[in-house]
Every structure is written in structure tokens, then in C-alpha cells.
Structure 1
Amino acid sequence: MTDGHGSPVAITRRSALALGLMSFGVGARAQSGEAPYPNRAVRFIVPAAPGGPTDVMARVVTPGLHARFGQPALVVNRAGAGGNIGVVQVKQSPADGYTLLIASTGFVVNASLFRDPGYDPFTDFLPITELGSSPNVILVPPSSTITSIAALIAKAKADKGKLNVINPGQGSTPHLTAELLQLRTGIEIENIPYNGAGPAIQALLANTAPVGITALPPAHAHIRSGALRALAITAEKRWFDLPDVPTAEEQGLAGLVSETFQGMYAPAGTPAAIVERVARDTLDVLKDTATIDKLRGVGFDVRASGPDGLARRVAKEVPMWRDIIVQSRIELQ
């Protein structure tokens, strides 16, 4: 992020985040004299509705953490305000390792989408690890007459500004992908945010919305079963078990590559030994073959990058998505 006049603020915040990472120790005690961490349930706040990609990721990863912690690893959904409600809840929680955040790309997008999201991604949180990423998909009900990206563009031009394209929420990468689609093609659509990927998928399944864009995981099983038709995937290449779904670039949309990533974070001030312990255990879970196969099977690439890797991704994506928001002239919230 910048102060609106350049990059010094981004550099300062990034440096502060890096300094926080340098203090990692090897112990796992919350405070001197306390029982080893964790000695009770750990809550993982997902700032989105059930059924979305971040919720799916959390529910695949947390059973392995439960086994390694020897304590419950609980997934708690706190949707609202584009994800800001759940993120702020974690920011305001005690920095003791018992309330952690699993968030999607919205965590970095909202820093530019909202005038005041209620948190700073650089100074209010410590990165634990990136978990995975997934491309987005452009979807229609199977009965739709829209059978390709070319047909979608033609329909949008015929119904200028009237074609509803739903997405999981304001500021989500599917929402911004729809904005990029308009920028790349010159079409005008009605880009409609829902409160999470789960509700958006249900609207498509019920045929109450003509077109939707979501991350791949919540749509994957429905594409495989034929309950939804995928017009395109916003990846550099076709997905391994969806060989009949072409990429957007294959259909003439150069540069329309976007993905949603999930990361795990702790409130700023969390002891370094706790961050290290959670990172180590999470990386162990993500190296497990059964976990990798399960995540790939529902539409994720596993990205076990650790604290440094997630810090680099946050530092890269905050300005990247800010530029797209500015180009799309999206009104700040």
C-alpha cells in the first residue's frame, strides 16, 4: 500500500512485517510458566459464508491440525462486509494463538476496495502460511443458451448493461474477474455480489441467475456432475480433471488469468514461538499426500509457502489488485 503519493508506506509496512518474522523462536509456550501451546481449542475464523473456497480449505486442513495439536481446531464462519467483519474480529482478538484467520484474496483486495476496511494487512497481522490457490470459473446453468465466451459476449452486447453476472462478493477475485472481462471486451454487464460463494452457486443451480463467476472449489463437483456448465477457467492451462473446460485465454481473452488464494494469519503481537508452531504443523498437513489429493480433487493447488512466502504474496498482491480496482473505476466502499 502507499500513502497515495508513492511507495514508501508499502516499504515501511513490509519492513515492519519482516521484522516481526525475524523473531521466530523454537519453543511453543504462550507465556513463561504456562502450559505448552495449545492447551485448549484453537478457533480458525473464516470471514465468508459456508461452502466457499476458503471454508472448503479450512475444513480440509483443520482435521490434520486437530491431530497435531491434540486440541480441537474449530472452523468459525464470520461473513459480512466483504469479509471485513471476520478479519477485524481476529485483529481484535487476544494475540495468544487461540483465534487465527484463514482468509482468501479478499484480505489483500479490501485494503484498496474500502476506504477503511478496519485493518491493515501489513501491520495488524503476522503471516503463518499460504495454503493454496484456485483459478476462477465462468459458469452458467446447463439449460443456458450461452455455450461459450463468444456467446456470452454476444449476449452482453445484445442486452447492454442488463445481463446479470453474479459473484461471491464485492472485492472477491471473481468480482474483479468480471470487471476485467468488461475491460478486455468492452461489454457492459450488471456485476452482482452475493454474500459468499455458497449462495452464488445455489442461485446458479436454481437457475435464478444466468451467469456466475466463482473460484473453482465450490463449483468443481457441480461441473463434474453436469449440474453447472463451465464456459471458461481463468487459469494458464486447463484443470487436470476438467479437460473439456477451455481457458479464457484459449477463447481469445488474452491476460484474463486470475486466481483466489487462501492464507493463514495471526493477530499482530502473537508470540513468535506460537506462529512458528502453527506454521510447522500446517506445513506438515499440507505435505500429507491424502490432503494434497483431497485439495486437488476439489480445485486447489497446494501452496505450502510458510510465513516468508505468504508475506511476499501479500506485498505483491495489495498493489496489484489496487491497480485493477483503479482501472475498473470501482467506487470505494
Structure 2
Amino acid sequence: MSTLAYAIPLSLFGGYIIVSTVLFRFPTLIHLKKKSKFNAKLIAHRGGAAENFENTITAFKHARSIGMEMLELDCQITKDKQIVVSHDDHLSRASGGDALIQDTNYEDLPTMCCPLAVTFTNGGMCTSESSDRHIPLLSEVFKEFKDFPINLDIKRNDEELINGVLDLIKEYKRETITVVGNFDSKIGDKVHKKAPEIPLLFGLTSIFKLFLLTYSGLLPFVPLKESYLEIPTGTLVKDLEWTQNSSTAMKTALRLYDFLFIRPFLFRHLQRRGIKIYLWVLNSEREWSRAISLGVDGIMTDYPSKLKDFCDAKGFSTSSDPLLENRH
């Protein structure tokens, strides 16, 4: 085979590598940078599930009062088509009930257990003295926190649930300060199709595609509809009780995930495109320190008071007003 036969493909491959590298560093040469209407570094997971009963109005108020800049919450739909704020569809864990929320009318929903296990802390229990153990309506939350950024996880691929959430977001004029999605990319796709103006989370399929695009060098060339990448760290997941006795293969997979995906070079590229990076659910100073060192945009926690104190001491904080309406 002639030298020319080798030279042409090598030249093409070399040109591809150079262009990909340049665009990875300067993505706005071909992509319009996304603009967010708010800046949230401190995010209360379920309102701060370790300090107050998760997803309650009391938890959300407490988180806001101590300086959290965003609330994370989850939505379900009841039998009588009410959109409620709850992580689990089944009532057993949070309320001790033996029924699904989707099979229960809103007025029949039980109150939450006390104490209540904190999902992302081994052995952690919420023993708040608050009497508020009520599962709220999403409309109640939107009324109380009308100008406050909210990260909203639609927990089921249900048309009535998806449409109900989007209708409420539009009714309360929250299109620019509500981030919506789920790990199920089908839910995100439906949200984006129905309301493309609402900021979207990366789903699991989109995250996998992001990984493939990154390590093939194609990422700089591909447009992304999502505006927020919210992922756990491998170190967080391996510390949870359900992975303590996991196989060597699982532990290896977690280390590999962390090594390949929790990478500052990837985060910087996405941030240059205006995509925010949030890590969850980080409940220790070790994880908070790591997140800050990685240069993420926000940290999601069950311990908002502790996170606020830690971040104030480290200088990882924002202004008292997270809204950026007048800065764009």
C-alpha cells in the first residue's frame, strides 16, 4: 500500500482531533451559550430531609430561611388527579401505608412517619419536632415560593402527571426558574416537546450518550437540549448501605464511573456551554470539599444548615438573591 493511502486517513483523523480539541475548549464557536435566570449553589434535597420531614412546607421554609438557593422536590399524582410533593409513589416507607399514591385520594393520604429514615445517610433518621408531616400539593409550594428556584423531579412517566406539572408551572409563571426532569429520559423528552422553554435535566439515556460523545471526541459538535447535569459521585454511592456488601464488579464499576465521569475537563466544557453541574446528594464535609474542588455549580444536600455553615467558611456562596433576572 502506498504512503499516500496511509497519509490521507491519518491527515483526516489528525484534523478531526485538532478541531474537536479546539471546539471542546471553545464550544461557543458553534453553540449558543445557554443562559440561566438564577444562580443556585446551595440546594436543599427534599427541602433538607435530615433536618425536617422531607418535601414538607416546613422543610422548604426552613431551607429558604437559612440561605439555601434552590429547593429540590419530587412529584406524584393521586387517584383524584391532584399533583402532590412526594418522592415515593408507595406510602410504606414515608407513611407506613400499604397503598400507592396513585390509588389514593388526596384527602386520604396519611401523614409521614416519625422518625423517618434519611435515604442518603447510612442509619440517618429525621426526628424533627415539627408537627408538619403533611404531604403538600405542588400548588401550595408554588404559592409559597413563587419567586424561588425549584428543581422538580417528575417521578412517573404518566401523561396526566407530566401535563399537570407543566400546567402548574405555566399557571404560576415559573418557566424560567423551575428545572424539570427525571432519570427516565422519556419523561424529559416529553417535557421538552411540550414545553421547550423550561430548563431540562439530563436523563439516564442522555447521560450515557454524553459519556459516549465525550470519549469519542464528538461532544463539541453535538447540540444539547438539556441545561442541567445532576449526578451522584461514585464515592457517594459506594458509601451507601446498599453497596457495602456489593460485588467486586459493582465496586469496580463505581470507581470507573467516578474516574471517567466526575471529571473537571468535562464539567468545564459543559459550563462553557451554559450547562450547570450539580452533584447529589452530598451529606458530609468530605464530599462537600470534593465538590467545591471540582468546580461544580451547586451542591445538593439533606443537611442544609450544615452545608450553609461549611460553604460560608469556605467562601462557596452567592448573593442573598439567587435570581439573575436583571443580569442578562
Tell me if both proteins adopt one fold, taking TM over 0.5 as the criterion. Answer: no
TM-score norm. by structure 2 comes to: 0.26
| Structure with greater contact order relative to length (CA < 8 Å, sep ≥ 6) | 1
TM-score norm. by structure 1 comes to: 0.26
Q: Rg bigger for which structure?
A: 2
